[in-house]
Amino acid sequence: MCGRFAQVIKHDQLKKLIDELAIAKRDEQIEINYNVAPTQAVAAFIATRETRLLTHFRWGLIPSWTMELPQYQMINVRSETILGKKTFKAGLQYKRCLIPVTGFYEWRKPDKQPFFIQAANGYPLLLAGIYD
């Protein structure tokens, strides 16, 4: 899956997403970024026991049980293998989020030409995510 994506959500699209997802906290904004890379801040929708809100996370999973900052952070996982990995167990059960993106980049081999994948109608995609 992607190692780069774009978060360029228009104001009217964000308002529609907030309404559709019944987000209570509406004062957050999504900073425009055409090339979001691992370790950068990303906007995400989360649901707590009390409410649903738009918040920001640093892209790259560092499990809470980790004693030191790993040299390489986990930025994605295959859907085919995630259920078998203990690292993601708590996140899958209790700490899921939706990441609104305009699209994501995939590189075509062998020349590594980037292609931008987006919805045909231009509406934001919601990527599944976990946090810790």
Euclidean distance between CA atoms 2 and 80, whole angstroms = 16
Q: Residue 14 corresponds to which tokens in the numbers above?
A: 């964000």
Residue 89's SS3 state is: helix
Q: Is 94 left (phi over 0), alpha (psi -120 to 50) or beta?
A: alpha
Known catalytic residue at 97:
no
Of the listed 2, 28, 31, 97, which one is catalytic?
Answer: 2
Known catalytic residue at 2:
yes
- Residue 123, beta-bridge partner list: none
Active centre residues (catalytic): 2, 106
